[in-house]
């Protein structure tokens, strides 16, 4: 398997878009008190009316037997702005 260089990553539009979105979401999550390093993070892409969004979910790594408490931050792919923040119950 060939090594992936930084130049390869920077030429991949999806990789760069996810990195931008994750950076914005991580900063906001930290400001809201989320321990990003100890969170189970999932990234989901969704589209609506031709626009694309990244939905980044921060949950507990030890999720068995726990309910709620997740933070979901949705980022607009076109400008890396936060569209909405949702807290799980």
Query: What gap in Å lies between CA 85 and CA 51, rounded to an integer?
Result: 18
7 vs 19, residue with greater confidence: 19
Beta bridge partners of 40: 59
- With a cut of 80, say whether residue 3 has pLDDT above it: yes
- With a cut of 70, say whether residue 75 has pLDDT above it: yes
Query: What gap in Å lies between CA 15 and CA 26, rounded to an integer?
Result: 16
48 vs 1, residue with greater confidence: 48
Query: What gap in Å lies between CA 63 and CA 72, rounded to an integer?
Result: 15
The string of pLDDT tens digits covering residues 13-62 is 999 999 999 999 999 999 999 999 999 999 999 998 889 999 999 998 77
pLDDT category of residue 80 using cuts at 50, 70 and 90: very high
Query: What gap in Å lies between CA 13 and CA 77, rounded to an integer?
Result: 11
Take residue 61 and report the two structure tokens written for it: 């790594």
């Amino acid at each position: 398997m060939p090594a992936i260089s930084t130049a390869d990553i920077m030429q991949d539009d999806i990789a760069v878009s996810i990195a931008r979105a994750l950076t914005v979401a991580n900063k906001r999550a930290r400001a809201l008190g989320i321990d990003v390093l100890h969170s189970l993070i999932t990234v989901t892409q969704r589209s609506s009316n031709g626009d694309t969004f990244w939905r980044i979910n921060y949950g507990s790594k030890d999720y068995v037997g726990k309910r709620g408490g997740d933070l979901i931050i949705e980022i607009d792919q076109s400008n890396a702005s936060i569209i909405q923040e949702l807290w799980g119950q």
